[in-house]
Amino acid sequence: MKALVFAAGMGTRLKPLTDTMPKALVPVLGKPLLAHVIEKLKSEGFDDITVNVHHFADQIEKYLSVNDFGVPVHISDERDLLRETGGGVRHARPFLEGSPFLVHNVDIISNINLRSLISAAREDALSTIVVSDRKTKRYFLFDESMRLVGWTNIETGEVRSPYKDLDVSACRKLAFSGIHYFSPKIFDVFDSMGCPERFPIVDFYLSVCDKYPIYGYVPEDLKMVDVGKFDSLSEAETLAGEIEFYVSPVMTTPPETFDSETKKLIFERLSSLGIPFSRVDTGDGTTMEACIPIGKALGAGVVKTVFLTNRQQTRFWLYVTEGDKPFVTRNFCSALEIPRVSFASEELLLSMLGTPHGATTVLSLLNDSESKVQLVIDRSIADSESFSCTDGTPFGFIRLSTSDLLNRFLPSTSHSPIVI
């Protein structure tokens, strides 16, 4: 998934800090704003990121050159002209076109679940903008379907809308939160409208919202700080400390949408068997360190699940053990009285169980219809009351009763575990 980070601004409200550095590199909890945003994007599955630059562009380029975030990060260079928000999106077209993409202001610290935003985006939306019910002077105006119809400044009474007879009192007033999710069609509309090199995206929205659907999205339990003023830095540090790793409130119903076929099949199977569960949406939970707050939220530790094979790749084992227990090949092989094994490739994992590395789960055995994979469970897990595991993706985790796993779910997949 692609994302653009707006980092080109002058940061005038953060003076004197921005007299010597770009706003993107202003530290929050000892880490630049830009790092907070890129790490959040990566944790929610964005794997192709672009950053636009203008003010102190060299500093941002140098920072990105010596800090590896584990995903490609491109530079959209605006040294020649600060193109504002609309022009910034248009200028970054070579990096963004071809698929939907997210745009995130560099000075926004929030707990928003970006995957929920993407799931909520409507098929006909040219853009979906994140908004919230908070006090400000300027508001977007939405109709009952949450389609954008205008804008107002409640202090001056100014109203801007392509609808001449708009009844502002009947509109829902919501404040913009600095995050958009665009359809790839946006570039064709820029062209058809003859947009200039430099223009604000809000002006564009208000000129086309009667012709192209632009919708608002209100996240649940949103906490957000706009680090636009010097006195907001302490508030941003407090919030950043709270949301270092995102874990949603606990839910007991299936997701409304699914970002993998395996995840969909897992929840369908649980529902058909009447097996109760608790679940959370999370940031990237591919490390056991990230699994600690997940386990705390669900009330049961996240298990470690590894996919193993022999040298000939003719036999396969799925091993479920405690999250903090080191995997020792010799001990595993000795317990099963088998020759040496090794970790199977991600290609094999995807083809046989339908999950990538970092999302391996005992629940994916429902994809092993020919029972080619032998399940092995540590005694401590088998004897536990409950456990937590991934839902087939790195961004969702489920807590189940161990009894329901052993006596109901696994029999439905025709698998019997070996307990060691």
- The 10s digit of each residue's pLDDT in 103-133 is 999 999 999 999 999 999 999 999 999 999 9
pLDDT single digits (tens) 140-189: 999 999 999 999 999 999 999 999 999 999 999 999 999 999 999 999 99
CATH code for position 337? 3.90.960.10
- H or E element, residue 90: helix 84-91
pLDDT tier at 287, thresholds 50, 70, 90: confident
Cβ neighbours for 320, distance < 8 A, ≥ 6 positions apart:
303, 304, 305, 362, 375, 376, 377, 378, 381, 389
Pair (347, 412) in one structural domain = yes
CB 5 within 8 A of CB 106: yes
- Looking at the structure, tell me whether residues 290 and 344 fall in a common domain: yes
pLDDT for residue 97 is more than 70: yes
Q: What is the CATH number of the domain that holds 69?
A: 3.90.550.10
Tell me the per-residue pLDDT of 327-344, one tens digit each, with 9 for 90 and over. 999 999 999 999 999 999
Q: What percent of the chain has a predicted confidence (pLDDT) above 90?
A: 81
Q: Is there a domain that residue 255 lies in?
A: no
**Per-residue pLDDT at 351 exceeds 80:** yes
Please give the average per-residue pLDDT across 261-289, as a whole number: 92
Give the list of residues 6+ apart from residue 35 with CB closer than 8 angstroms, or none: 67, 69
DSSP-derived letter for residue 213 is: -
- What is the structure's pLDDT at 259? 78
292, 180: one domain: no
> What per-residue confidence (pLDDT) applies to 142?
98
DSSP annotation of 7 reads: -
Cα angle: 36, vertex 37, 38; to 5 degrees: 95
281 and 207 in a single domain? The answer is no
Cα–Cα distance measured from residue 192 to residue 189, given in angstroms and rounded to the nearest whole number: 5
One domain for residues 236 and 268: no
Q: Residue 79: its pLDDT value, please?
A: 96
As a whole number of angstroms, the distance between CA 64 and CA 49 comes to 12
Q: What is the count of structural domains for the chain?
A: 2
Report the range of poorest mean pLDDT among 60-74, 231-245, 377-391: 231-245
User: Alpha-carbon distance 64 to 85, whole Å?
Assistant: 22
Does some domain include residue 195?
yes
Does the structure show a pLDDT above 90 at 13? no
DSSP per residue over 20-74, as a string?
TS-GGG-EETTEEHHHHHHHHHHHTT--EEEEEE-TTHHHHHHHHHH---SS-EE
Band the pLDDT of 12: cuts 50, 70, 90. Answer: confident
240 within 8 A of 221, measured Cβ to Cβ:
no
In sequence order, the β-bridge partners of residue 171 are: none
pLDDT score, position 127: 98
The answer to whether residues 238 and 384 belong to one domain is no
How does the average pLDDT of the chain come out, rounded? 94
Q: Is the pLDDT of residue 305 over 90?
A: yes
Of 249, 257, 172, 254, which is closest to residue 218 (Cα–Cα)? Answer: 172
Q: Are 354 and 394 in contact (CB under 8 A)?
A: no
Of 349 and 241, the structure prediction assigns the larger pLDDT to 349
Q: Which helix (H) or strand (E) holds 319?
A: strand 316-321
Same domain, residue pair 291 and 360: yes
Q: For residue 417, how far is the Cα from the chain centroid?
A: 34
Query: Which 3 state secondary structure label does DSSP give 13?
Result: helix
Residue 29's pLDDT band (cuts 50, 70, 90): confident
Stretch 369-375: mean pLDDT, rounded? Answer: 97
In this predicted structure, the answer to whether residue 16 has a pLDDT above a threshold of 90 is no
pLDDT of residue 136: 92
Assign 202 a pLDDT band (cuts: 50, 70, 90).
Answer: very high
Whether the predicted pLDDT of 244 surpasses 70: no
Determine the pLDDT at residue 228.
Answer: 76
Q: What is the residue range of 288's domain? A: 261-419
State whether 386 and 415 are in the same domain: yes
